[in-house]
Amino acid sequence: MSFWILSILLVFWLSSIAIGWSFKRSDYNVSQFLIGGRKISFFIFIFAVSSIFITNINFLSQPSLNLDIGFMGSYLAFTVIIISIASIFFLKRQWVLGKRFGYITATEMYCDYFKGKTLHYIIIFISIVFVIPFVGLQLFLGGKLLSLATDNLLNPILSSWVFGLVICTYAALGGMKSVAYNNAIKFIIILFGLVILGLISYNLTGGLASLNQALAKLSLLKESNADNTLSLFYIPEIISMNSGYSFEGEKIYWTGTLLFTFILSTIGIFSSPAFTMWCFSSESPRPFAGQQVWTTTFFVGFILIFFVTFLGISGHMLGSNSVVNDAGISISQFLSETIDKSLSSMNLFSSYGLAIKETSPWLFAILVVSALAIFQSTAAAFISTTAGIFSRDIYKKIFNPKASFENQILITRFSVVLIIILSLGLITFAGKIIWLLNNFSISLAFQMLIPLIAICYFPWFTKNGIIAGLVGGFFILILTDPVGHLMLNQFLPWGPWPLTIHSSFWAIIVNLGLAIGVSYIKQNPIDRAHRQKYFDYIDDQAGIPISNRYLIPAALALGIFLIFFGFGPGAVIGNGLFGSPDDPTTWAFGLPSIWVWQILFWSFFVGFTWFLAYKLGMSTDSDREIISLNEDFGEK
């Protein structure tokens, strides 16, 4: 094993633990331990939250999909953008509620607003079902990479346990602040790694001009039924009458609709109950706009659209595409034709990394740490907050209502260990389907978008309507998701993701329909008055200024337009708007039309998020002071 790998890994992990130790204090109250005392500072919040939004989808799935289906895979870069847009609509409003009423967990917020014990148990269930597979996948990928980087010193499962132990240590020591400061530092490391990987692929292909020349030749190759190389340059179809996933060969049939609904489902990362605690942790709303517009949509979006796309697409010209090799137009044979192109494959990263391992082992080690930082920051962010849900919403609420601060913090630390063990146990015994379980967990968390909309914008929704929607959405998720088909022994007459529409979308349509229908059937005036008081306060403190409300219809129309045409079914227009896919002489700027379309709409989304966050004031700080009724809702 390389001296550089061992040295940099030790520095990386020991510094993580040291940060956790530095925030270990005996005089913490629950708010300070679980949400940083609502005092996570400006830049720490921006960098920490941005690191959470960059997931394995961006690091592994996007370049692997570029390698498998071409430029269509680059639409996964829009996952960070759609999460940012969702956060613009809800982040500040949740923060106002948390500050005013002293909420620490999402369960406290929802149950105080809707006044329901049943909802309490449903949210706990969603929190657990979300976090165990989600964290499990991060640990699985981290262990797989660690084993690869250390020349199989430990097998992937044992490496996952080592990886989990490090996260467990610093998350349990210092609580939210420990994780926030760790994530802020890892955000810089992550961006450095993504840029370097893009530059390596740039160097291997001889630069953008060389790659474009090779892509032009590729687009002119004669298509065959076996290898439709032209399909690398466009979205082949909008929707299909077939299912979107096949268990035979674990094959995903990507269409414009499946891609669109899959991207929307990643909002579940933001709407999950565990993320709400990050909303409560900020010192003020000041960091929100900067994080949403400039850090995530602009800067991270730029890296994903350009550097990560270059990383994935260049693989076709570096030996992975047999058609290109046979035609004699490949730039080199750097990659193997049999390279694994699955969404969780490490082969692409390892192939590029090995290109510099012999000449620059220190840089290879930094790239490994950068990749580990993605999995570590995401896992730690949700482990720490879900552990808080365990201690507050299960231990304190159900078993020991009079639990002291010390007991709650102790249970939180114990819960960190428990979540790690459960997640590691899952990948030990169900590692082959961990990707499907993770997808199911995000889809389930996505269903929390409806109660979030209800709290922030529509007090008309009732408790029973929200419960009916969540329960109905869960059952539809079971009936349409690959995990549900496995549970039901694949006896259903339709396949997973019917009509190539993601299960999360089927579920949320039913969820919304039931929430509206049941809420319409029965309205309780007393409960409605209770909810209206909360809504009026939110609207007063975080609502759009009256002078700007005339812009709301334009903002909604523009948002629907950009989402539908930017990465939705309407994106098929981009297949040939800036040049025919099979005629490189017509390509605008010398780039395939689909890539120009992605770049164009990324720039549009930067402008749109600026419009929402700054112009409409949805994420800017308020000049009105929020007087807290209670610093800790659980102690009132």
Q: Give the separation between CA 429 and CA 133, rounded to whole angstroms.
A: 12
Q: Give the separation between CA 277 and CA 171, rounded to whole angstroms.
A: 15
Say if 28 falls within a structural domain: yes
The per-residue pLDDT for range 356-372, each reduced to its tens digit, is: 887 888 999 999 999 99
Q: Give the separation between CA 371 and CA 345, rounded to whole angstroms.
A: 13
- Give the containing element (helix H, strand E) for 222: none
Q: Give the separation between CA 106 and CA 567, rounded to whole angstroms.
A: 30
- Short-list 462, 492, 456, CA closest to 475: 492
Per-residue confidence (pLDDT) for residue 226, from 0 to 100: 45
Indicate whether 623 pLDDT > 80: no
Say if 326 falls within a structural domain: no
- Give the containing element (helix H, strand E) for 632: none
Tokens of 291: 């994080």
Per-residue confidence (pLDDT) for residue 290, from 0 to 100: 97
The per-residue pLDDT for range 121-180, each reduced to its tens digit, is: 999 999 999 999 999 999 999 999 999 888 888 899 999 999 999 999 999 999 999 999
Say if 328 falls within a structural domain: no
Q: Give the separation between CA 34 and CA 28, rounded to whole angstroms.
A: 10
Structural domain count, the chain: 1
Q: What CATH number did the domain enclosing 234 receive? A: 1.20.1730.10
Q: What is the mean pLDDT of residues 77-81?
A: 98
Say if 324 falls within a structural domain: no
- Sequential DSSP letters for 56-123: HIIIIIHHHHHHHHGGGGGGGGHHHHHHHHHHHHHHHHHHHHHHHH---SHHHHHHHHHT-HHHHHHH
- Give the containing element (helix H, strand E) for 499: none
Confirm if 444 and 129 have CB atoms less than 8 A apart: yes
Classify the phi-psi angles of 267: left when phi > 0, otherwise alpha if psi is within -120 to 50, otherwise beta: alpha
Q: Give the separation between CA 447 and CA 445, rounded to whole angstroms.
A: 5
From the CA atom positions of the chain, what is the Rg in Å?
A: 24
Name residue, tokens 């044979």: 333
- Short-list 393, 489, 469, CA closest to 128: 393
The 10 Å Cβ neighbour count of residue 554 is: 11
Strands 251-252 and 245-246: antiparallel
Say if 19 falls within a structural domain: yes
Q: Which residue has the higher pLDDT, 336 or 576?
A: 576
Q: What is the mean pLDDT of residues 18-24?
A: 95
Chain mean pLDDT for the chain: 93
Distances (CA, A) of 450 to 35, 93, 467: 24, 15, 10
Say if 222 falls within a structural domain: no
Range of the domain at 260: 3-203+227-309+342-635
Confirm if 238 and 572 have CB atoms less than 8 A apart: yes
Say if 331 falls within a structural domain: no
Q: Give the separation between CA 114 and CA 136, rounded to whole angstroms.
A: 32
Q: Give the separation between CA 538 and CA 100, rounded to whole angstroms.
A: 10
- Give the containing element (helix H, strand E) for 252: strand 251-252
Confirm if 539 and 619 have CB atoms less than 8 A apart: no
The per-residue pLDDT for range 391-434, each reduced to its tens digit, is: 999 999 999 999 999 999 999 999 999 999 999 999 998 888 99
- Short-list 295, 75, 45, 78, CA closest to 184: 45
Residues ≥6 apart with Cβ < 8 Å to 17: 166, 169, 170, 173
The per-residue pLDDT for range 464-490, each reduced to its tens digit, is: 999 999 999 999 999 999 999 999 987
Indicate whether 247 pLDDT > 60: yes
Say if 303 falls within a structural domain: yes
Q: Give the separation between CA 373 and CA 142, rounded to whole angstroms.
A: 9
Per-residue confidence (pLDDT) for residue 225, from 0 to 100: 42
The per-residue pLDDT for range 535-592, each reduced to its tens digit, is: 999 999 999 988 899 999 999 999 999 999 999 999 999 999 999 998 999 998 889 9
